[in-house]
C-alpha cells in the first residue's frame, strides 16, 4: 500500500479523531479529500501494521 503524504497526514488525523480529539476545518477537509474516511479506523490500523510487518520481513530477508 502506497500512501501520499496528504493521505498519511489524513490517517494521523483520523486516528486522533478516533481518540476524541477535535479536528480543525483544515484537518476535516484533508480527511474528506483523502478518501480514507470511507473505512473504519480499525481497517487502517490493520493495513498499516500489515504493511510495516511486510517491510520488516523484506529488510530481514535482504540482510
CA count, 13 A, side-chain hemisphere, 39:
12
> What is the pLDDT confidence band of residue 57, given thresholds at 50, 70 and 90?
confident
Mean local confidence (pLDDT), 31-59: 88
* Number of domains, the chain: 1
Where in the sequence is the domain holding 47, given as residue range(s)?
5-62
- Answer whether residue 61 shows pLDDT above 80: no
Residues 6+ apart with CB under 8 A from 61: none
pLDDT confidence of residue 63: 66
pLDDT confidence of residue 3: 83
pLDDT confidence of residue 1: 66
Torsion angles phi and psi, residue 5, rounded to 5: -60, -40
> What is the pLDDT confidence band of residue 55, given thresholds at 50, 70 and 90?
confident
Amino acid at each position: 500500500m502506497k500512501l501520499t503524504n496528504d493521505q498519511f497526514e489524513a490517517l494521523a488525523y483520523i486516528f486522533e479523531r478516533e481518540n476524541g480529539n477535535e479536528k480543525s476545518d483544515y484537518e476535516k477537509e484533508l480527511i474528506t479529500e483523502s478518501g480514507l474516511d470511507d473505512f473504519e479506523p480499525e481497517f487502517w490500523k490493520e493495513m498499516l501494521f500489515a504493511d510495516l510487518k511486510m517491510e520488516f520481513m523484506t529488510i530481514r530477508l535482504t540482510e
